Structure formats: structure tokens, C-alpha cells
Amino acid sequence: MAQQIADRRDVDFVLHELLDVGAMSSYEKFAEFNKKTVDLIVTEARNLAIKEILPTNKVGDEVGVSFEKDGQVKVPEEFHRAYQLYKEGEWVGTSEDPEWGGQGMPRTVDMAVSDYLLGANCSLNLYVGLTIGAGHLVEAFGTEEQKRLFLKKL
């Protein structure tokens, strides 16, 4: 089967040859994100995208969502497992502040991860994007109590 999402060689070229993202590890904030770590992160994101998320894309198109009379929106069952793996792997908020449950990953690396995850199933990843957006609102405008209460959960 032909590769349907971001080409690894292109991603590696941009990260390492064009942007030299490993050099960011010389800064204290990104000290743990050397080339080896970045490659591992990108590999894991790619594996998750290809093995688990990509198959849900077709199902999402074929089954779609349903709007129930009680106001609930139901998504294909396969989305639940993929989303659970997404959360368990801590792929939500990868570039967000570790104080609030993020990984503090350089945004450049986060974008490479997003290439794979969004490319595998954009619809599924929009759910995650809404969560991240809500977190940004709470972080920017919430009280300290609201931040403590909500941010790690988001």
C-alpha cells in the first residue's frame, strides 16, 4: 500500500538538515530534546498514525457520526480506541507547559508529530485540537484555581 501520510525522509530532512532541530537541546528549556530523542518521538508518532489512526479514517467516512435525540453525538466505535491510545501515549498537548501536563516539546517537533497524526485522520484529531484550544483559554484567562482544576485534565 502506498504511503498516505507524511514521508519520513521529508520530515527528517526538514527537522535535521534544514532546521537542525537537535541544536535546540543546547537551550535549557529543550535540553532533553536532542536528535536521538526527536527521532524516537517522530518514529512513535508515525507508528501510532499508521497502525492505529489511519485505519479509522475510512471508517469515519463510511460510518460517519450520528446525532441522537437526547443531544449526544456518536462517533464510530473505532475512534474510541484510537483516541484512548492518543491519550495514553500523551500525544495531547505535546508542546504545552509541563507544569500543566504537557511535554514541553519544541513546537517544531510538535508540528512534525502533527503531520503524521493529522494526516492519518484529520477528523479524529480535531477533537484533540478543541481540547488544546480550551486549555489555552484557561491558561491565558483563567484564575489560578481554574488552571489547577482543569489544565492537567485537558
pLDDT (tens digit, 9 = 90+) per residue, 22-72?
999 999 999 999 999 999 999 999 999 999 999 999 999 999 999 999 999
Phi-psi region of 3 (alpha: psi -120 to 50; beta: other; left: phi over 0): beta
Mean pLDDT, residues 133-151: 89
Q: Which three cell numbers stand for residue 128?
A: 484533540
Q: Residue 73: in which H helix or E strand, if any?
A: strand 73-74
Residue 67: the pLDDT is 92
Residue 147 clears pLDDT 80, i.e. is over it: yes
CA nearest to 112, candidates 33, 38, 27: 38
| Global pTM value | 0.84
Mean pLDDT, residues 74-79: 94
Domain 8-65+73-150 in this protein, CATH class = mainly alpha
What does residue 91 show for φ and ψ, rounded to 5 degrees? Answer: -85, -5
CB-based burial label for 140 (10 Å; 0-12, 13-18, 19+)? exposed
Which tens digit of pLDDT belongs to each residue from 104-138? 999 999 999 999 999 999 999 888 777 888 888 99
Q: Which of helix, strand or coil describes residue 77?
A: helix
pLDDT classification of 93: cutoffs 50, 70, 90: confident
Residue 1 clears pLDDT 80, i.e. is over it: no
Residue 2 clears pLDDT 60, i.e. is over it: no
* Exposure class string for 18-55: b at 16+ Cβ within 10 A, else e: eeebbebbeeeebeebbbeebbebbeebbebbbebbbe
pLDDT classification of 3: cutoffs 50, 70, 90: low
